[in-house]
């Protein structure tokens, strides 16, 4: 499963956010692994398209897809030199697929700020510097290895050396490796390094309940992220934690009072999902309407394999209706009558929103 790691300085609201995310209470028995590690939360991905499909199909249940968030506490200045439990935390981040970087934009005299003042940009810089220093150390070691190897003139080694040198310069200039926009081939060459600053990253600005507008701190985070091409999600973690504890009907009322359509957490989850470069397809039967996660670009057999490996091995054809057509023609029969039902083969690349039924041999 893909992981989004939650990082940030101490006391910025990481745990508050993580707890709110995991309050969503995915049935633990379906995800045995999530009970093993208290720092990993399996979170359902809210997708309004599922409700629309369910209105038509009227299934017994709706099963959303999930992503995992990991609470990575304890990243402090000096981590790359082993300060605190630095190395362990960096190792935990290395295992994630994307990073949600929480920054404090709320004022609260009761909550100590580690640097003594609220300054989200300097907080970002502290964390990003640690990540960059850790990457520089990895790149330097890799450069030593590959420099020796490339003397023999091996083409891959030379290519790797070139990419590593570019990354080193980038890091040395204080910029994250992801800013180089490496192509897939270049990324593959340095994949084994699990570089921290190469991971897709978003910033989560933890603001006061009235801090969503006219907030210079938030504006500065936004400007910084824009410059990096990163997303910012503004939330109030304290309120999210409250909302997460409410029953469904109370929740609706509470959100109505705040003038919100949905909890801010939904935006966090969706932004995390999109960082991971994933697509969703649906199966829609009377038993269940269900969302499945695939990497963007997955073929029909690969997508079938997400349901069951036998589906991939025995793949024959995929019956496909796009989400728009499924809704517009009110289900499978309507889509068929309108000529919007397709039979696709093994080379078909499944699109986000496709409603699919697989035919397979067992
Ligand atoms: P972490 O160290 O980053 O995991 O931070 P915590 O989630 O433990 O939060 C640190 C403190 O800040 C706790 O006392 C929280 O209750 C408080 N806190 C977190 N989010 C907010 C917020 O949005 N507003 C306010 N006022 N306090 C918050």
Residue 104 structure tokens:
């404090």
User: What's this model's pTM, rounded to 2 decimal places?
Assistant: 0.86
Please check if 346 is assigned to a binding site.
no
Mean pLDDT over 145-165 rounds to 86
Q: Measure the CA–CA gap between 244 and 113, rounded to whole angstroms.
A: 25
Tell me whether residue 157 is in a domain: yes
Residue located via tokens 């499945």: 292
Return d(Cα 95, Cα 277) in angstroms, integer: 17
Round to whole Å and give the CA distance between 97 and 68: 10
In a domain, 285, yes or no: no
- What number is the average pLDDT over the span 111-116? 71
Q: What is the tens place of the pLDDT at every residue in 16-62? A: 999 888 875 544 444 444 444 668 888 888 899 999 999 999 999 99
Q: What are phi and psi of 311, to 5 degrees?
A: -65, -35
The CA distances from residue 338 to 29, 153, 330, 333, 355, in Å, are: 42, 60, 11, 9, 16
Are the CB atoms for 314 and 280 separated by under 8 Å? no
Best of 8, 12, 16 to mutate for ligand 1, by most ligand atoms within 8 A of CB?
A: 16
Domain shared by 249 and 304, yes or no: no
Q: In sequence order, what are the beta bridge partners of 68?
A: 3, 42
Q: 110 CA distance to ligand 1 centroid (A)?
A: 10
159-170 pLDDT, tens per residue? 999 999 999 999
Residue 247 resides in a domain:
yes
The answer to whether residue 284 sits within a structural domain is: no
Whether residues 263 and 304 share a domain: the answer is no
Q: Does residue 45 lie within any of the structural domains?
A: yes
Q: Is any ligand 1 atom within 6 A of the Cβ of residue 206? A: yes
ipTM entry? 0.94
Q: For the domain that residue 303 is a member of, what is the CATH number?
A: 3.10.20.30
CATH code for position 211: 3.40.50.300
Task: Find out whether the beta carbon of 19 lies less than 6 Å from any atom of ligand 1.
Answer: no
DSSP-assigned letters across all residues of 296-330: TT-BHHHHHHHH-HHHHHTEEEEEEE-HHHHHHTT
Task: Give me the phi and psi of 272, to 5 degrees please.
Answer: -65, -45
In a domain, 92, yes or no: yes
User: Is 63 annotated as ligand-binding?
Assistant: no
What's the domain range around 92?
3-275
């Amino acid at each position: 499963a893909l992981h989004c790691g939650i990082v940030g300085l101490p006391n910025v609201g990481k745990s508050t956010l993580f707890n709110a995310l995991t309050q969503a209470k995915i049935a633990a028995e379906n995800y045995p692994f999530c009970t093993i590690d208290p720092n990993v939360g399996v979170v359902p991905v809210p997708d309004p398209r599922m409700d629309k499909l369910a209105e038509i199909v009227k299934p017994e249940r709706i099963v959303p897809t999930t992503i995992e968030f990991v609470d990575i506490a304890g990243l402090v200045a000096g981590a790359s030199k082993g300060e605190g439990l630095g190395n362990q935390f960096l190792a935990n981040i290395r295992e994630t697929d994307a990073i949600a970087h929480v920054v404090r934009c709320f004022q609260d005299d009761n909550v100590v700020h580690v640097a003594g003042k609220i300054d989200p940009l300097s907080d970002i810089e502290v964390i990003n510097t640690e990540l960059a220093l850790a990457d520089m150390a990895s790149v330097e070691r890799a450069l030593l290895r590959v420099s020796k190897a490339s003397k023999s003139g091996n083409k891959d080694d030379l290519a790797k050396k070139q990419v590593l040198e570019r990354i080193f310069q980038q890091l040395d200039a204080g910029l994250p490796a992801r800013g180089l926009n490496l192509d897939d081939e270049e990324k593959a060459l340095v994949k084994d390094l699990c570089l921290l600053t190469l991971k897709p990253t978003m910033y989560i600005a933890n603001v006061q309940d009235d801090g969503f507008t006219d907030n210079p701190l938030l504006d500065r985070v936004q400007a910084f992220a824009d410059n990096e091409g990163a997303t910012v999600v503004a939330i109030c973690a304290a309120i999210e934690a409250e909302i997460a504890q409410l029953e469904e009907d109370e929740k609706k009322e509470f959100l109505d009072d705040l003038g919100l359509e949905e909890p801010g957490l939904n935006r966090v989850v969706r932004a995390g999902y999109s960082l991971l470069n994933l697509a969703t397809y649906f199966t829609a039967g009377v038993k269940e309407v269900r969302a499945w996660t695939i990497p963007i670009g997955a073929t029909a057999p690969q997508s079938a394999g997400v349901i069951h490996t036998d589906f991939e091995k025995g793949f024959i054809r995929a019956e496909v209706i796009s989400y728009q057509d499924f809704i517009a023609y009110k289900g499978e029969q309507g889509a068929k009558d309108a000529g919007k039902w397709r039979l696709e083969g093994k080379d078909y690349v499944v699109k986000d929103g496709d409603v699919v039924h697989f035919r397979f041999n067992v």
